[in-house]
Structure 1
Amino acid sequence: MLRGIHHVAVICSDYPVSKHFYVNVLGFKVIDENYREARDSYKCDLALPDGTQVELFSFPGAPARPSRPEAQGLRHLAFRVDNLNAAIAHLQQHGIEVEPVRVDEYTNKRFTFFADPDALPLELYEL
């Protein structure tokens, strides 16, 4: 029945800042971008090389979503990486704070967290 995750939708508070972050810092490719005048909203479809997509939305007046302390709902979005140290260095070169590296006690894989411009928790998970 289910064959994978097609996309994750993110509503941002500052569309140009978030688009820059996802495209120029994280390396997503813009598939399509549309301004929807009736909603005064942008919708930008972004993709990673494996086909995973993020839909980036702007909605005027959208309320902030609490993420800390941890709130119910989607906890974070995790990206797999081959080299965690290189990914961390890349983020830090862009001025992005990254939490200390941890090791998953069940898989012994290394991971860390950082945040997008709206404080959405994002994870890097080394495979």
Structure 2
Amino acid sequence: MILNPDHITIAVADAGPAIDFFALLGFRKDHVAIIDGGLPARYMGMPDMKAQHITLALEGADPQFEIQLLEFEPTPGADPGAHPTNLRRRGFNHLAFRVDDLEATTAHLVASSVTVLSDEMNYVNRKLRLFEGPEGITVELVQRDS
């Protein structure tokens, strides 16, 4: 039986901007590991994989929730397909985080030059807003009505 989300992994060309972005949302670096072949690479089906594996943990989350960043060496080329923020494409669509104050969190992200992708929307007893995250992923903030 599933208990709760544990982590999401995002492949990035440069971990620095991704670490900075997720820090704005309360994630802190937990640990960094270097994958240079070996068991982790075989587990992922890439026996020759070389990457930095950076775990960011959401402060105060119980149970713990992590964003795991993979910075491959060498950096893979850009996907020639649809831009990741195109919510009509198949596959991964967006990552959503629950917040207690959507307006304050939006102001915090905008002040840090994060790109807003939508106006605020009220939908099924919650306020929603989309932002562009690292590597062009779409991040949604959700404030649920009490």
Q: TM-score, with normalisation over the residues of structure 1?
A: 0.87
Identity %: 25
Q: Aligned partners of 2:132 and 2:87: how far apart in 1?
A: 14
In the TM superposition, what is the alpha-carbon distance from 1:109 to its structure 2 partner?
A: 0.8
Q: Aligned partners of 2:127 and 2:19: how far apart in 1?
A: 27
In the TM superposition, what is the alpha-carbon distance from 1:76 to its structure 2 partner?
A: 0.4
Q: Deviations over 1:30-57 (max 9, x none)?
A: 1111233454411111111212111111
| Structure possessing the higher radius of gyration over alpha carbons | 2
| Correspondence 1:89 to 2:107 | yes
Aligned to 1:61: 76
1:76 to 94, 105, 119: 94
Q: Aligned partners of 1:124 and 1:80: how far apart in 2?
A: 6
Q: Aligned partners of 1:73 and 1:53: how far apart in 2?
A: 21
Aligned to 1:118: 135
Q: Aligned partners of 2:19 and 2:102: how far apart in 1?
A: 23
| Correspondence 1:33 to 2:50 | no
Q: Aligned partners of 2:89 and 2:19: how far apart in 1?
A: 25
Cα RMSD after superposing both structures: 1.7
Question: Measured at CA, do residues 31 and 124 of structure 1 come closer, stay the same or move farther in structure 2, by a change above 3 Å?
Answer: same
Question: How many residues align structurally?
Answer: 124
Local SS of the residue matching 1:91: helix
Q: Which runs of 4+ in 1 moved over 4 A?
A: none
